[in-house]
Structure 1
Amino acid sequence: MSGFLDLAGRRALITSGTRGAGAATVALFRELGARVLTTARSRPEHLPEALFVAADLTTPAGCAAAAEAARERLGGVDVLVHVLGGSSSPAGGFAALGEAEWAQELALNLLPAVRLDRALVPGMLAQGSGVVIHVSSIQARLPLPEATTAYAAAKAALSTYSKSLSKEAAPRGVRVVRVTPGWIDTEASVALADRLAAEAGTDREGGRRIIMDALGGIPLGRPSTPAEVADLIAFLASSRAGSITGAEVTIDGGTVPTV
């Protein structure tokens, strides 16, 4: 991998880089020579302080703190990877989603990207180069009415925003790309399976089957791994993908059944 891709010297801010696909992306970027800073609410013991800034990105103040840390420690960014996302809304369809649930899904899945881009993309435009990668979800096109309506809507908004930003930024040398995973085998997916299992009165494997059934199955026969998602992100961040912008690249094992 390192012989094909080179991120040497690239300054990268990667959100939610302490677990799952975010942690895999941080590790791969470092392996490929990038200077990396990542964020979460708290630093895990295995992650060096030099690579980390504690910030709650669901708040304007947290986004401002992360952007300022990137400017101070890295001198700006060349690559901005928005991995942060997820859902804790209850099952039960649209009627189970109140004001708090809708606000929470937008605060986690849309607004951090908007705020960090607003803070850091101007620096990319000024230097005439940069890459922004928004991690969306196939839920934007394949929502699960029982459990992910608000999450799916927030990710759809992120995708539309990302496309618009790509049109504005590309003429000035900044590429904006969407990575759209399906089911990734992470701690968060296990938690979702457990939550659905508890609500359905079954076990974890039963919860996984609920997810699989709701998705309509995965032709590849398994979820993607965090490392596979990181590989795709690294490729898109590299000069190997120099003419890819405004695009959505799906990594879902064939889950989405349409062209």
Structure 2
Amino acid sequence: QILEFVIKTLNKEFKPIKRGKRTVLIDGTDIQVDMNWNKQNYTKKFLEKKGLYWAKSASKGFYIGFKLTLALDYHTGQPLTMLIHKGSKHDSELFPEIMEKLRKRRIIRNKDIIIADKGYISFNNYREGILKYKIVPLIFPKENMKINKILSQFNYPLEYFKVKNKKEDIYKELVSKFKKLITKWKKFKKIRGKIEDFFKLTKKGLKNNKFHKYTKESIAKTSYLLVLLTGLIIKQGYNESESMQKLSET
């Protein structure tokens, strides 16, 4: 599979090093198919026959295409794994899926920090992040959401979550760290912004705002290879956000 090739190549280039806690950024971006709108109007039925779907981006409105979800190592800039979905599946539903992929690949470890924007928010994602994956789920809250409402779900006795004695210490440590970070989440906006700069470099820097591909398989293959290429560029000394921004504008 092309994804396996991409991940193995990136692992080889970035060379896994002895590490402490890892900070992983998760975000998604639209993959727009370049349709000829002058030729005809595309109905839902017509698109489904082609395996294409309408989608919606918060920043770009409606489009025809897919969605790429990426997990990026904040410190090294290495793409860790990714997902491709038709249309625009909600980010909150994608969080468990990308986390499961990170877990199965043994990329994440206990006490790692996962940073994602408010699109991924759900009380279940906070709980599963701590209880199932044993990470600190720093998912940014919505502007009108009270932090205490998020924190209150961890005020129940440990028995409620069926936490066994031997896991009690790590649970308490994760909750303590989560409470500390979520109260000052705005300070992490710049850190999370690095994955946006990665996407910008992939699209604008590599001249791939829209795809001239029309099947999920061909789009996935092209997307994976573009992420690989961007990762290899970053490895050559463009790991900082400022470097990526300048490179994407040249």
Classify the TM-score, shorter chain.
0.3 to 0.5
Q: Which has the higher strand share?
A: 2
The two structures have a TM-score, normalised by structure 1, of: 0.32
Greater relative contact order structure (CA < 8 Å, 6+ sep): 2
Higher-Rg member (1/2): 2
The two structures have a TM-score, normalised by structure 2, of: 0.32
